[in-house]
């Protein structure tokens, strides 16, 4: 596969040449995707509000916003407003997102719910722009445009726009990958540190960053430069949170101990997916546990197939793009190694969005108009249905 000459130059030169020229298309594309998504979410949210609350006056924006902030979203807001001393399960939620809610809450109208939504949507806009820029750098503008839209219509993509930390985490990991690809290692490390302060899985960035660093020095460790130390920044988010847990909560591993309250545990890679299939077989097809397991197991299976297509077949990525495959691979391996009491791989349907490579290979496949329309129509339809289910309060999607 042959690179376009100007893209070869851009990959080899880490200096930020003409940033306005580079980022303007990304910002415009992100604005189009974000604004369309927001409008659709408001419409679907209004319909869901009326459906589950009976007939009556049309819901206002505040009512819809409250419907978006169920489950984990309220935990983040509660931590932002009252701290971690509320119960043994709260330290499982990493601190960067509630800290940001706490910081911006005094300057925004309303309470922490408003701040959570504003932050999530700002981060969603940023994540779309950075994903576009990464995809454009690697595969061109058309692929980048499709990748941004495919992320937005992902069946559980609405989590990027509600009061969860999904969009913040995705912004940080994609930003770190992009900075590393451009050779800006200290920035990549700092963004990695912030990602591990947002979620424990931020630690997984060490693997793709290390692969890309080795590639850039010709796979010869003897050529390592002082900026290799930037990789050691990635765990600092977890280290900082551990220190806080020790000082204020009594144990440096309190965030891990708190997972026991949610029944979360880790198993041999792949076994969680097998357990999920067994849960489907052990319940009726209309049982909520079976439906949730089908959603999680099915989403991960599709993600695995797309990741395989990143290395095999006509749409495979180049060898120099191995870091993207590694990032997607370690993400999916961890998802297939995580069990939660009552439902294996719970929430995997939204965590799978973090496997960035699958959006790039799917966007390459989307050059075929039939594939493009199928992805958009099927993805948007499932997206709308699952948003309604989430707003109903069902634990099927959480």
For CA atoms 89, 116, 397, 45, give the dihedral sign.
positive
Task: Answer yes or no: are the C-beta atoms of 48 and 388 closer than 8 Å.
Answer: yes
Q: 340 — phi, psi (to 5°)?
A: -125, 140
Binned average pLDDT, 10 residues per bin, the chain of 398 residues? 43 55 92 94 77 58 68 89 89 95 90 90 97 96 97 94 94 98 97 97 97 96 95 97 95 90 81 82 69 87 96 95 97 88 78 96 97 96 89 70
Which one-letter DSSP state was computed for residue 354?
Answer: G
Which one-letter DSSP state was computed for residue 165?
Answer: S
Task: Answer yes or no: are the C-beta atoms of 236 and 203 closer than 8 Å.
Answer: no
pTM reported for the whole predicted model:
0.91
Rg of the chain over Cα atoms, rounded to whole angstroms, equals 21
Q: Which sequence spans correspond to the domains of the chain?
A: 21-391
Q: 338 — phi, psi (to 5°)?
A: -115, 125
C-alpha to C-alpha distance for 241 and 258, rounded to whole angstroms: 13
Residue 12, pLDDT score: 47
Residue 47, pLDDT score: 76
Residue 21, pLDDT score: 81
Kindly state the helix (H) or strand (E) to which residue 340 belongs, with its residue range. Answer: strand 338-340
Task: Answer yes or no: are the C-beta atoms of 343 and 296 closer than 8 Å.
Answer: yes
Residue 8, pLDDT score: 44
List CB contacts of 300: < 8 A, sequence separation 6 or more: 273, 332, 335, 336, 345, 348, 349, 352
C-alpha to C-alpha distance for 376 and 381, rounded to whole angstroms: 8
C-alpha to C-alpha distance for 121 and 116, rounded to whole angstroms: 9
Residue 18, pLDDT score: 61
343-344/338-340 β-pairing: antiparallel
Cα angle: 9, vertex 182, 237; to 5 degrees = 175
C-alpha to C-alpha distance for 78 and 75, rounded to whole angstroms: 5
Residue 338's SS3 state is strand
If one counts every other C-beta atom within 10 angstroms of the C-beta of residue 311, the result is 15
Residue 266's SS3 state is strand
């Amino acid at each position: 596969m042959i690179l376009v000459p100007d893209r070869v130059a851009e990959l080899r030169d880490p200096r930020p040449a003409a940033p306005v020229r580079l980022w303007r298309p990304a910002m415009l594309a992100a604005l189009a995707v974000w604004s369309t998504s927001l409008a659709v979410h408001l419409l679907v949210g209004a319909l869901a509000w009326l459906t589950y609350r009976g007939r009556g006056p049309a819901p206002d924006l505040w009512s819809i916003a409250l419907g978006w902030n169920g489950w984990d979203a309220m935990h983040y807001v509660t931590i932002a407003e009252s701290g971690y001393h509320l119960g043994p399960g709260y330290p499982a939620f990493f601190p960067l997102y509630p800290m940001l809610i706490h910081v911006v809450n005094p300057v925004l109208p309303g309470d922490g719910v408003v701040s959570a939504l504003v932050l999530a949507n700002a981060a969603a806009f940023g994540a779309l722009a950075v994903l576009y820029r990464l995809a454009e750098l690697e595969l061109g503008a058309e692929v980048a445009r499709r990748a941004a839209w495919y992320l937005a219509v992902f069946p559980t993509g609405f989590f990027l726009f509600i009061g969860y930390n999904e969009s913040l985490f995705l912004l940080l990991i994609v930003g770190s990958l992009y900075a590393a690809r451009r050779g800006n290692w200290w920035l990549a490390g700092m963004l990695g540190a912030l990602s591990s302060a947002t979620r424990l899985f931020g630690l997984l960035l060490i693997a793709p960053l290390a692969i890309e660093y080795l590639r850039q020095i010709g796979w010869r460790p003897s050529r390592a430069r002082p900026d290799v130390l930037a990789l050691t920044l990635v765990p600092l988010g977890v280290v900082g949170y551990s220190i806080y847990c020790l000082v204020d909560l009594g144990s440096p591993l309190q965030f891990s101990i708190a997972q026991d309250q949610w029944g979360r545990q880790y198993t041999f890679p792949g076994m969680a997916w097998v357990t999920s299939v067994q849960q489907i077989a052990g319940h009726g097809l209309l049982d909520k546990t079976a439906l949730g397991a089908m959603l999680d197991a099915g989403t991960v299976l599709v993600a695995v197939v797309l990741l395989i297509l990143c290395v095999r077949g006509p749409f495979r990525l180049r060898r120099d793009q191995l870091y993207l495959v590694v990032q997607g691979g370690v993400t999916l391996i961890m998802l297939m190694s995580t069990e939660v009491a009552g439902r294996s791989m719970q929430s995997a349907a939204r965590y799978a969005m973090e496997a960035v490579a699958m959006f790039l290979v799917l966007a390459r496949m989307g050059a075929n108009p039939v594939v493009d329309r199928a992805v958009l129509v099927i993805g948007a339809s499932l997206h709308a249905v699952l948003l309604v289910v989430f707003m109903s309060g069902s634990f099927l999607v959480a």
